[in-house]
Amino acid sequence: MSDAFPHSRQDENLAYTTASDDAHTILLNKVSWGAIFAGVVVALVVQVLLTMLGAGIGIATLDAGTGENTEASTFSIAAGIWYI
């Protein structure tokens, strides 16, 4: 059978890999993409909820009925603390 195919033609379809290539492929296939996407969704939901909470706290410091509001410096300090 080896006489039917020349030596160079047999080597055309062979792929040479090393042990590190095999390890890379195994590790790549073990990634749980569903868990990654679920983590992204959870992180985005938490970010939106915390942003809404911060906006609610900031808006609650304003009192439109009396016209007396906090000073800009106090409001900016509170916003900076919330950001941290």
In a domain, 13, yes or no: yes
Q: Count of domains in the chain?
A: 1
End-to-end Cα, the chain, rounded Å: 73
Residue 14: left if φ>0, alpha if ψ -120 to 50, beta else—which one? Answer: beta
In a domain, 48, yes or no: yes
In a domain, 2, yes or no: no
In a domain, 74, yes or no: yes
58's CB contacts (< 8 A; 6+ apart) are: 75, 78, 79, 82
The C-alpha atoms of residue 77 and residue 4 are separated, in whole angstroms, by 83
Question: Could you list the pLDDT tens digit for every one of the 84 residues in the chain?
Answer: 455 555 555 556 666 767 677 777 776 677 788 999 999 999 999 999 999 998 888 787 776 667 666 677 776 777 777 777
Q: Which domain holds residue 37?
A: 7-83
Q: What is the pLDDT of residue 78?
A: 73
In a domain, 1, yes or no: no
